[in-house]
Each structure stands twice: as C-alpha cells, then as structure tokens.
C-alpha cells in the first residue's frame, strides 16, 4: 500500500507535535519552580499550567482522531483501537493541569509549604495506573504531588501509544 500523506495530515502531525513540545517546555518551567521554590512566580506557573490545560483533554484527543499517514509521526495505530483509554489519559492530563492552575491562583505570593510534597507523602497511581481521584481529592493534594501524577500521564501515554 502506498499512501501519499495529504498536506492536511502533515499539518495535524506538525500541530500536535508542536503542542507536545509546548507542554514539555511548560512542564520544565513548573518542575524548575518546585526544585527551586524561591524562583516561584504564580503568574508564570499558571501560564505553564494553562499551556498544558489548553493542549490536553479533547484538544489532544482530536489531534489523533484519524490515523495520520505521515512518516513524521510516531503515533501508534493502537490509538484508534484503544480510543477510550487514550482519551481517558488525555483527560487525566487536563484534570491535573486544571488543579495546578488553581494552586497558582490560590497562592499568588511566595510558594507556601502546602504546595510542596511532604517527605514520604505516598505517590498514588504507579507507573501504569494513573487514576484521577475525585476533584475534591485532587484539590486537597499538594500541587507538587499533582504535578508528579501529571508527569506520569505523559509517560503512561507515551509508553503505550508512541513509538519509541
């Protein structure tokens, strides 16, 4: 079978890859602030969280709505077969980003200890089982904890749906 990639397919691949890169940069910004809390700036943190929020959930899912026959793409064909699972992970990512946005809104000044993970705080989820908790539990969780769970959604999705 020879498929000539249509320009439209190439566009969506370029777009989703650009979105992924933007999310990676945003995650790096947030990570840097948890590593060095003195560098925390609520507005920047929030902007980074929103960058991820606006590129996850349905927006992310729709960028993988059909098999893009593009040699540039590393997306796996099982995305279409396991649609529900893929969409669930995309939505989990959004839930965590929303929680991080809220944390920044609630903490406009210096980063309070309550945003950090306490030593020994249990990490929920596990590498292959990220469960989004109820909204309530998510908002009660330290922002740093939500951030780590958020990064697990990236890893979980890539492990299953992105060619290595």
Interacting residue ranges for ligand HEC, rule: CB under 6 A: 13, 16-17, 20-21, 23-24, 27, 52, 60, 73-75, 86, 89-90, 93, 153-154, 157-158, 161-162
CB of 52 to ligand HEC, least distance (A): 5
How near is the Cβ of 75 to ligand HEC at its closest, in Å?
Answer: 4
CB 94 within 8 A of CB 149: no
For residue 79, the minimal CB distance to ligand HEC (Å) is: 6
Give the span between the Cα atoms of 58 and 91, in whole angstroms: 7
Would you say 116 or 158 has its CB closer to ligand HEC? Answer: 158
Which residues lie across from 162 on neighbouring strands?
75
For residue 133, with 0-12 CB atoms within 10 Å meaning exposed, 13-18 middle and 19 or more buried, which class applies?
Answer: middle
């Amino acid at each position: 079978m020879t498929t000539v990639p249509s320009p439209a397919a190439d566009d969506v691949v370029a777009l989703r890859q650009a979105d992924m890169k933007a999310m990676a940069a945003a995650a790096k910004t947030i990570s840097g602030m948890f590593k060095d809390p003195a560098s925390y700036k609520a507005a920047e943190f929030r902007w980074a969280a929103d960058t991820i929020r606006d590129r996850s959930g349905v927006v992310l899912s729709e960028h993988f709505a059909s098999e893009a026959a593009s040699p540039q793409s590393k997306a796996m064909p099982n995305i279409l077969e396991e649609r529900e699972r893929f969409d669930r992970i995309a939505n989990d990512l959004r839930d965590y980003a929303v929680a991080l946005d809220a944390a920044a809104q609630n903490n406009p000044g210096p980063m309070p200890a309550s945003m950090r993970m306490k030593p020994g705080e249990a990490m929920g989820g596990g590498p292959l089982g990220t469960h989004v908790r109820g909204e309530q539990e998510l908002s009660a969780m330290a922002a740093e904890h939500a951030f780590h769970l958020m990064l697990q959604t990236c890893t979980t999705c890539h492990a299953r749906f992105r060619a290595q």
